[in-house]
Amino acid sequence: MENHHDDQALRSLARAVLMPGFIGTTLPGWVAEELEAGLGSLCIYGGNIQDTGQLAALMSQIRQASPGAILALDEEGGDVTRLHYRDGSNQPGNAVLGRMDDPQLTRASARAIAREMRSYGFNLNLAPDADVNTNAQNPVIGVRSFGISPRKVAMHTAAFTVGLQGEMVAACAKHFPGHGDTSTDSHLSLPVVAVDPFTLAERELAPFTAAIQTGIAAIMTSHIMVPALDAENPATFSSAILGDLLRDELGFTGVIVTDALDMAGASAETGIPVAAVRALRAGADLLCLGTDMEREDYEQVVNAILHAVREGTLDPQRLRDAAARNTALATHYRVQDRACEPCELVTGDWSQAFETSAEVAGWISDPAEVQLVQVDTDSNMAVGHVPWGLSSVASTAAPEDLRPGAKVLLAARALSETHAVHTLAAQLRQAGHRVLVVNFGWPAPGADITTYGASPVLARTVMEMLQIPAEQKC
């Protein structure tokens, strides 16, 4: 690029492929300037949302700066929510929907999410999670998945996609080519999916194939190694996976979105600017840069892209193709003014999705006073710090404050053999309390009730099932 005009044109193309986040609950000046100059997309995270009024004002300001931008949100429903980051999701979540196995219910949940998103001005949902959760110890997928059956996950991925896009919110299936069979979290490291090509095609790829056949607008890459496809590069940086497989073999023509490039699986060794160029070169179109970006961080990414084009390591046509796909998505899903809609609950007897032990009936019939206890459990970074379980719908007590003779409903999530809930349950039983352990998550030994999710919707269902009054929140 030899002159100023060419430099500006190239910078415009770079802006069109970027989706940064930002710090705070008000729009930073530099983000407003970039939106006005053609920044293609913005991603809103939980830390950007304080309450409904603040979010409406923020989104109005963003839309004024750029009416045609792609505004994205991670709103899977259930454990992963951004719209309800302060109070917990009003939807049951994928694992419960998979257990219910009613595609109409799944579409209804997605429609409700889409309507709420559109009311604020969002037009891209980084959902559904299309991973087949075949590893029970998966630390980052779990209840975000529709289940362990490729057929079921494929059917509900398609239904969720139809629900979102029928309300004019673009769907984005993730995490291609499949993050379900991992035992590590790509936020923290680089997982490996060591499966043969046949298993991959029949299991991991089935939901993405269904999504493509449904006409999904976008697919998100994963920061995982799949040696059967590419022994050297994680999926996000693999032209064999994004080009040969996703584009050529599966026939996907929509937008390829990267998972957040600030994750360790993507940029721990190289930094975000290098990761951005690698992803573009491999075939990604829209680069999710991650949370908490400052102007300097963003400019480093832009400059890395410009430098790569100038030195010949990134084909400018690749950049033009990516920008064109993003523009086409933004145009098709352009947001129209719409009044804010109230919180919409999808009705269903979610208890049908639960697993329960024989102890439940006896606990219900015991006339003793009920007290609730919740064991704090760290969540993964995808979930963040969202209210969950019993404490999201009712007051809970500390174990040392329990009254003698009370029967105890003891809540936990992310259960494992060494989870603190097992020791606490034994201690409480020894002290004379009748105890039920509720696992607000994926099945694991030691639970009397397993809910397949931790949202307030499911907590209320547990309490209704056990005939305990609960506060109603929406």
Pick from 465, 231, 229, 468: which is nearest to 361 by CA? 465
Decide if 179 is catalytic.
no
Radius of gyration of the chain measured on its C-alpha atoms: 23
Per-position DSSP letters for 275-341, written without gaps between them: HHHHHHHHT--BEEEESS--HHHHHHHHHHHHHHHHTTSS-HHHHHHHHHHHHHHHHHTPPPP-PPP
The candidate with the shortest Cα–Cα distance to 89, out of 341, 290, 346, is: 346
Strands (DSSP E) found in 375-453? 407-412, 435-439, 449-450
Helix and strand numbers (H, E) in the chain are 16, 13
Of the listed 187, 223, 419, 433, which one is catalytic?
Answer: 187
CA distance 457 to 227: 40
Assign 10 to helix, strand or coil: helix
Q: Could you give the CA distance from residue 246 to residue 235 in angstroms, rounded to a whole number?
A: 11
Catalytic hit among 181, 259, 285, 448: 259
Within 13 A of 128's CA, how many CA atoms are on the CB side?
A: 39
H/E element holding 171? strand 170-176
What residues have CB less than 8 Å from 4, skipping those under 6 apart?
Answer: none
Is residue 259 part of the annotated active site? The answer reads: yes
Q: What is d(CA 304, CA 300) in angstroms, rounded to the nearest whole number?
A: 6
- Pairwise CA distance, residues 303 & 307, whole Å: 6
* Total residues found in the chain within this entry: 474
The C-alpha atoms of residue 301 and residue 273 are separated, in whole angstroms, by: 4
Q: In terms of Cα–Cα distance, which of 348, 347, 351 is closest to 450?
A: 351
Question: Quick check: 21 and 48 in contact, CB under 8 A?
Answer: yes
Residue whose token pair is 């289940």: 147
Q: Which residues are catalytic?
A: 187, 259
